[in-house]
Chain A
Amino acid sequence: MTVATPQGPACDLRLRLVAAFIFIACVSQLRTLPVALAALTVAGLVAAWRRPDARLWRRLMHVEGFLLLLFATLPFTMAGQPLFSLGPLTASVEGMERALLIAAKVSASVLALTALLGAVEPVRLGAALRGLYVPEVLVRLFVLTARYLSLIRDEARRLQEAMRMRGFRPGTNRHSWRSYGHLLGMLLVRALERAQRVEEAMRCRGYEGRFPRLAPPSPTARDWAGFCAALVFGLAVTMADRL
Chain B
Amino acid sequence: MAHIPDGLLSAPVLVAGGLLAAGGVALGLRRLDDRMIPRTAILAAAFFAGSLVAVPVGPSSVHLLLAGLMGVMLGTAAFLAVLVALLLQALLFGFGGLTTLGVNTVNIALPGVLCGLALGPLIRATARPSVRLAAGALAGGLSVLGTGGLVALSLWLSSSDYTPAARVVIATYLPLALVEAFVTAAIVSFLARVQPEALRPVAP
Contact = CB atoms under 8 A, between A and B. Distances in A.
B16 interface: no
B7 A70 contact: no
Q: Is the interface of B mostly helix, strand, loop or mixed?
A: helix
A38 to B, nearest CB: 14
Contact of A69 (B57, B87, B98, B168): B168
Contact of B98 (A20, A64, A135, A151): A20
B204 to A, nearest CB: 16
Given A185-B186, A188-B198, A118 B6 contact: no
Contacts of B44: 141, 145
Interface string A141-165: 1101111110111011000100000
B5 A156 contact: no
A181 B190 contact: yes
Contacts of B155: 66
Given A149-B45, A189-B198, A209-B35, A177 B183 contact: yes
Contact of A70 (B95, B165, B179): B165
B92 interface: yes
A90 interface: no
Given A144-B41, A156-B52, A188 B7 contact: no
Contacts of B56: 170-172, 176
Contact of B162 (A29, A70, A138, A198): A70
Contacts of A202: 38
B191 A145 contact: no
A195 interface: yes
B42 A144 contact: yes
A190 B50 CA distance: 12
Contact of B165 (A28, A73, A144): A73
A67 interface: yes
Nearest to A200: B38
B73 interface: yes
Contact of A195 (B42, B49, B81, B172): B42
Interface in A185-204: 185-192, 194-195, 198-199, 202
A67 B194 CA distance: 41
Contacts of B27: none
B186 A172 contact: no
A182 B90 contact: no
A146 B190 CA distance: 27
Given A28-B7, A28-B8, A182-B190, A209 B34 contact: yes
A102 interface: yes
B94 A69 contact: no
Interface stretch (A4-12, A104-112, A225-233): A104-112
Given A185-B186, A209-B37, A141 B5 contact: no
A108 B50 contact: no
Contacts of A96: none
Contacts of A144: 37-38, 41-42, 45
A191 B98 contact: no
Given A66-B165, A138-B80, A148-B42, A21 B98 contact: yes
Given A125-B91, A142-B87, A145-B85, A182 B99 contact: no
Interface of B: 1, 3-11, 14, 25, 29, 32, 34-35, 37-50, 52-53, 55-58, 64, 66, 73, 80-81, 83-85, 87-88, 90-95, 97-99, 151, 155, 161-165, 168-169, 172, 179, 182-187, 189-191, 194-195, 198
11 contacts: A20-B98, A56-B94, A64-B5, A66-B1, A140-B37, A141-B80, A145-B48, A171-B56, A177-B55, A181-B189, A187-B50
Which 5 pairs between the two chains have the least Cβ-Cβ distance? Answer: A181-B186, A105-B7, A144-B41, A185-B190, A109-B6
